[in-house]
Structure formats: structure tokens, C-alpha cells
Amino acid sequence: MSLLDKIAAAVTPMASQEQRAEARRDALQLAQGNDWLGQIIDHHRQIEQAFERALNADGAEERRTAAAGLAEILMAHANAEEAVIYPALVEGSSKAHTTMAYEEQAAAKINMAILENLDPMSREWRDKLEHIQGAVLQHVYQEESSWFPDVVRNVPADKQRLLTSRYEQEFGRYNGGPGNTPAQLPEIA
Ligand SMILES: [Fe+2]
């Protein structure tokens, strides 16, 4: 953990595994099947699994492939949230939460770009991946425990129906939509 991470953790303590599981259970109860929140929770699960696959991959090629798979689902999810769901946080939760949501995802995108240029067999690669995983899990906890339940409670139902169709459309645009090609990572000498 970097010094900055330690300071951040002291200000906002990291959620425990139990707290994250409880937030997930409560968020699932608020979700109505495959609505925007249901889709998002499903994508959060896929992201968590993609981190585990990357951290448990053996060999440079397998790690590169697993990191590319993680980048694909993480970016599609983040872009769709930023385009459709975070604007609704302004009305449903607060401007401060909206700003924090965008900033945390920007940091994750920067770190994923750094990861791409690291040797997958190096200690730095693993440290960077674990750092991103910790930050993303905490971000997911903030979304599921507070920010998104606020939107469910405070945004009118007709607007939420629009969020569902628009989130699905945006996510599809980046993940397997027409013209989408699998992520390619540059060869590292
Ligand atoms: Fe999310």
C-alpha cells in the first residue's frame, strides 16, 4: 500500500469483506431483476471474477490475456456508468458523490493504462493489479452501499426506466457491440 493509499484508508476506512457482502445483498433486494441496478451488480461480479483470473494467471501470455479481459469489462462498465448513471447521482445522491465517482474511475483507468505497459512477470505488475483491485472493490462498495440506493430511492421511476435502457445500450457499445473487436495488448519485449 502506498503512502497516499494509507492516508486515504485512514480518512475513509476500506470496507471489510463482510460489509461488502452485506451491501451486495441489500443492493440486490433493491434491484428489480434486470433493471439498471441489476445489470450493474452483474457486471460488478464479472469484474471481481476478472481480477481473480488475472491475479491467478500463470505465465506472461496468460496474464496479458487475463488483464486484457479485465480491461474490456472494466472499461465497458465504467464508460456506461459515466455516460448514464453518474449524471443521475447529482439528482439522486449528491454532487460530492458524483465528483468522487468520476474521479475514482479516472484513477482506475490511468492505472490500467500503466498496467498495460508493465512486464506481466514483474513484481510491479502484480502490485499494480492488486492496487487497482483494492480501489475498484472499495468503489463498488460505495456504489452498492450508498450512491446507487440513493438513486433508487430519490429518482422518479420513469427516469429510472430510461436509465435501464440507456445503460444497457451504452454498455453494449463498448462490450461486444457492432464493430467491437477484442482488446489487443501490445507485445512487450
Ligand atoms: Fe460500478
Predicted model pTM: 0.88
Q: Domain of residue 165: give its range.
A: 36-174
- Cell output for 125: 505488475
Residue 19 belongs to a domain: no
pLDDT tens column, 25-59? 999 999 989 999 999 999 999 999 999 999 999 99
Cα of 58 vs centre of ligand 1, distance in Å, is: 28
Supply angle C-alpha 188, 51, 176, rounded to 5: 80
Where does residue 107 rank: exposed (0-12), middle (13-18), buried (19+ CB within 10 A)? middle
Q: Which residues surround ligand 1, an ion (CB under 5 A)?
A: 143
- CATH code, 73: 1.20.120.520
Residue 5 belongs to a domain: no
Cα of 143 vs centre of ligand 1, distance in Å, is: 6
Cα of 56 vs centre of ligand 1, distance in Å, is: 23
Task: Write out the H or E segment, with its range, that includes residue 83.
Answer: none
Q: Which amino acid is at 108?
A: A
Cα of 169 vs centre of ligand 1, distance in Å, is: 16
Cα of 6 vs centre of ligand 1, distance in Å, is: 23
Report how many domains make up the chain.
Answer: 1
pLDDT tens column, 157-166? 999 999 999 9
Supply angle C-alpha 130, 78, 9, rounded to 5: 40
